[in-house]
Structure 1
């Protein structure tokens, strides 16, 4: 395992902003997760919006949310870190999550209805929920009774939030899993028909896999959302690993 100092040098080599001359990490667990992310980051292109690495705001990210899972597994782990005064500190660690019934797959290979959760690096931009909330510097959309999300590849509104009912669109009002969720920006800008839709980080209390989203207990999701700050350029990393961190 690299030391915090050498880990910092590697981050700087990739252009990752640490806002400090020295990298500090209070726990070896935090170092392990960040190092694993570093290895993944050096090999995997950005997902979701198709940005190339040199142009990506990920280089200035000060909040990283990790979802890791072993190959073929439908359970994983959530870790959330923020950079404060040059020190990466944990907000949430070792939180269990549920993945799609088919496990993880690279985002480029994700298809509608395949049961996979897409792996990749995604900017966190939008939060959706049924209550009025104060969200720091991120878009927040309050669900209404007519709020729907289209998962029909034949619709011009495919993988978009819409304010009316249409064939193939899912009501967001009628299910508790849409009480609060973070949009995982897979296949969103632009949305390509059939490449996957409605990929969210949402509440999940069932002892079974999701259909392709990431499910977590509502109390952890509430804490996560309360800590997110758009000014810190938060990113979500979903990656397959040999270990669940």
Structure 2
């Protein structure tokens, strides 16, 4: 577990009330005052557009221009979040797809000792790993190898200090947890983050990645007291679910 925290930040179970069920997606959106909305052209696209929204007088209003982001190398598939199960492709461990749906936003993490953000922030060390081994009791959790032991992280492909383990890789220099599969269903997909991209033509293993200025803007804006949510949908699914899930109307000038 993370030093002095007592919970694993990738699991994020402590941030989700047991009373919140998948069928409560619309209520989750209604209760949210901040939203990160990511729209892809279709299920298989690796390119997407990200916008920030805030609730004002009961209506969603855009507070940023669209920013280009990239997602999983295989596109997207329905994840395990605050929404009811949906028909279509389903997220699985190792499929290279980003989870679609509505998700809580967990703690922030990075290489620096501190960053400007209202989220809980956890600086990573060389001993921190996210466990992506489906049959591990630590599946979908970020753990300190110094506390859980080398055997417990065997097989994990997700060191959180990629700069130290992967030839200076800067992708996890800044990021935050997207609370996919918070109940840690084996094989349901793990270690889903928003993090930095390599470039605008890169892809991820299932995360959402962006330029560093966009990430810093998000981190400075996010306020846990405003119950922010992360929503990722292909455009056709956004159109199908917009009214039911009470999502921003992208055709409304006030939401642009």
Whether 1:81 aligns to 2:53 is yes
Q: How far apart in 2 are the matches of 1:83 and 1:50?
A: 22
Whether 1:69 aligns to 2:28 is no
Aligned residue for 2:78?
106
Partner SS state of residue 225, structure 2 = helix
Aligned residue for 1:240?
234
1:88-110 CA distance string (max 9 Å, x none): 44332210011111111111511
Cα shift at 1:122: 0.5
Aligned residue for 1:187?
181
The counterpart of 1:168, out of the listed 145, 155, 165, is 155
1:53-103 CA distance string (max 9 Å, x none): 189543221101100001121101001012356664433221001111111
Pairwise CA RMSD of aligned residues?
Answer: 2.3
TM-score (ref. length: structure 2): 0.70
In structure 2, stretches of 5+ residues that fail to align are 1-19, 81-89, 163-168, 240-249, 251-256
Whether 1:96 aligns to 2:87 is no
Aligned residues: 195
Q: How far apart in 1 are the matches of 2:91 and 2:46?
A: 15
1:167-213 CA distance string (max 9 Å, x none): 1222111231111112111112x101111011111100332321111
In structure 1, stretches of 5+ residues that fail to align are 1-48
Whether 1:115 aligns to 2:103 is no
Query: 1:61 and 1:69, CA in 2 relative to 1: closer, same or farther beyond 3 A?
Result: same
Q: How far apart in 1 are the matches of 2:36 and 2:49?
A: 10
Partner SS state of residue 220, structure 2 = helix
Compare relative contact order (CA 8 Å, sep 6+) and give the higher one, 1 or 2: 2
